[in-house]
Amino acid sequence: MRDNKKKVFLKTFGCQMNVRDSEVICGLLERQGYQISDDEDKADIVIFNTCSVRQHAEDKVWSAIGRVKAKIIGIVGCMATNYRQAIFDKAPEVDFVVGTSDIAKIPLIIAEIEKHKDSFLAKKIYETDSDHREDEIYHTGFHLDKEHAFVVVSEGCENYCAYCVVPYVRGRLRSRPYSDILAEIKEDIDAGITKITLLGQNVNMYNYKEVNFIELLKLVNSVNGLKEFSFITTHPKDTTAKLFQAMNDADKLKKYLHLPVQSGSNRILKLMNRGYTREFYLDLVENYRKIVKNGTLTTDIIVGFPTETKEDFQDTYELVNNVGFDAAYIFKYSVRPHTQAASLSDDVDKKEKERRHSLILELQKRISLKKR
Ligand code: SAH
Ligand code: SF4
Ligand code: F3S
């Protein structure tokens, strides 16, 4: 009987949010009798859970589609919401396209496609318009890691940073009921998992009824059996000394903060619509280091944002040099559809972006080495 199960190979592109979504999809498919396989060549169905954050992320998916041998191909996740049915025009071999808030429908969609695949009724299906996920999808118990689990606390994002496609592909901000988050963590613990990472595009904005993010941290910290937890990502504009105090007070919380600065130039930060200044950011870092003893600090940086001059870049370089991050993820600006910055000319040429990218990369390498 087992051998009759259809095999699904699912590859994840992009961030931890997608890693968790892929587990959700696998759990839902297993429930419907599919077998999750790690052998792409032998799979009946291949699904790519995709990322749209930079052009490069999308290019990887387009070229991977061309190599698929399976009979049924699905594109799900952020590119699905970004391109909708236009994916079928660019990649006619794709059978279904499912957006970030419609993932619960994947098993039914596959069943429908399988039914008609070889007949004249064969069809392509796309579902990209929901703005809501049922909480039950998080409770299938499917986990890739036996010790650690990601737990989504909020979906979507409403910050509209000028360069970022995420609000358009992940929809408005929705905070999950804290009772459900806690129930999921307890299920994880019952399954032997003792480490958790809470996920949200901007966890500071978590708010469900009377519970804000700081309250949520306290609730999670008190879950019996949980040994360690952390969270990503915090947005500097909503990060406060109160959060640092809460980090210090929660004994199970890892003293780790990912605080993306993006740029050290006030002019560029304003164009990016980030809602803070370089000085505000530096004050936050100072406070963090005062309050959270031995806390680690990491960041994200974009080089080559439209109009970024050598002086703007120098401001970023100096900020990185002065702060001394434990790690920094450095990205070259990439124009994204729908975004505010897409109306600006992408005027820092490719070579200059590469030069700025490698200068900060080298600097951060030296800093990270010293910290070891
Ligand atoms: N919500 C998180 C993650 C956003 S995406 C946050 O706010 O930090 C992860 C990183 O990708 C961002 O922090 C940013 O540095 C980078 N990024 C987003 N859009 C980009 C773009 N258009 N070009 C280059 N890098 C981008
Ligand atoms: Fe994108 Fe900004 Fe939201 Fe992060 S906070 S996901 S960078 S819009
Ligand atoms: Fe994540 Fe990429 Fe989507 S970074 S939210 S998978 S656009």
Ligand 3 atom with the shortest distance to the CA of 14: 6
For 73-87, write each residue's pLDDT tens digit: 999 999 999 999 999
Q: What is the mean pLDDT of residues 209-224?
A: 97
Is the pLDDT confidence value at 356 over 90?
yes
Check pocket membership of 178 for ligand 1, CB cut-off 6 A: no
Whole-number Å distance between alpha carbons of 11 and 149: 18
Q: Whose CA is nearest to atom 4 of ligand 2?
A: 201
Pocket lining: 76 vs ligand 3, CB cutoff 6 Å: no
pLDDT of residue 302: 98
Rounded CA gap, 77 and 12, in Å?
9
**Average pLDDT, integer, range 340-355:** 98
* In the predicted structure, residue 37 carries a pLDDT above the cut 90: yes
Check if 299 has its Cβ closer than 6 Å to any atom of ligand 3.
Answer: no
SS3 letters across the chain: CHHHCCEEEEEECCCHHHHHHHHHHHHHHHHCCCEECCCHHHCCEEEEEECCCCHHHHHHHHHHHCCCCCCEEEEEEHHHHHHCCHHHHHCCCCCEEECCCCHHHHHHHHHHHHHHCCCCCCCCEEECCCCCCCHHHHHCCCCCCCCEEEEECEECCCCCCCCCCHHHHHCCCEECCHHHHHHHHHHHHHCCCCEEEEECCCHHHCEECCEEHHHHHHHHHCCCCCCEEEEECCCHHHCCHHHHHHHHHCCCECCEEECCCECCCHHHHHHCCCCCCHHHHHHHHHHHHHHCCCCEEEEEEEECCCCCCHHHHHHHHHHHHHHCCCEEEEEECCCCCCCHHHHCCCCCCHHHHHHHHHHHHHHHHHHHHHHC
Establish whether residue 17 lines the binding site of ligand 3, counting it when its CB lies within 6 angstroms of any ligand atom: yes
For ligand 1, is residue 319 a contact (CB within 6 Å)? no
> Is the pLDDT assigned to residue 99 strictly greater than 60?
yes
Which pLDDT does position 3 carry in this prediction? 63
Q: Provide, rounded to the nearest whole percent, the portion of the chain with pLDDT above 90.
A: 95
Residue range(s) in the chain whose domain bears CATH number 3.40.50.12160: 7-127
The predicted pLDDT at position 372 comes to 77
How far apart, in whole angstroms, are the C-alpha atoms of residue 108 and residue 125?
11
Rounded average pLDDT over 151-166? 97
Q: Which of 202, 273, 299, 300 to mutate to test the pocket of ligand 2 (most atoms within 8 A of CB)?
A: 202
Whole-number Å distance between alpha carbons of 60 and 67: 11
Alpha-carbon gap, residue 314 to 295, rounded angstroms: 27
Average pLDDT, the chain: 96
State whether the beta carbon of 164 lies less than 6 angstroms from ligand 1. yes
Check whether 2 has a pLDDT greater than 80.
Answer: no
Q: What is the CATH number of domain 7-127?
A: 3.40.50.12160
Mean pLDDT computed over 155-177: 97
Q: Which CATH class is domain 145-371?
A: alpha beta
How confident is the model over 114-127, as a mean pLDDT?
A: 89
Average of pLDDT values for 88-94?
96
Question: Mean pLDDT over residues 25-52, rounded?
Answer: 97
Residue with tokens 């399954």: 191
pTM of the model: 0.96
Residue 174: pLDDT band (50, 70, 90) is very high
Q: What is the pLDDT at residue 39?
A: 95
Averaged over 187-205, what is the pLDDT?
A: 97
Closest CA to 8 of 31, 39, 32: 39
Residue 92 C-alpha to ligand 2 middle, in angstroms?
32
Averaged pLDDT, 337-366: 98
**Does residue 1 have a pLDDT over 70?**
no
Span(s) in the chain for CATH 3.80.30.20: 145-371
Whole-number Cα distances in Å, 317 to 134, 206, 210, 329: 44, 32, 41, 13
Whether 149 shows a pLDDT value over 80: the answer reads yes
Confidence band (pLDDT; 50, 70, 90) for 122? Answer: confident
**CB distance 336 to ligand 1 below 6 Å:** yes
In percent, the amount of the chain with pLDDT more than 70 equals: 99
**CA nearest ligand 3 atom 5, residue:** 166
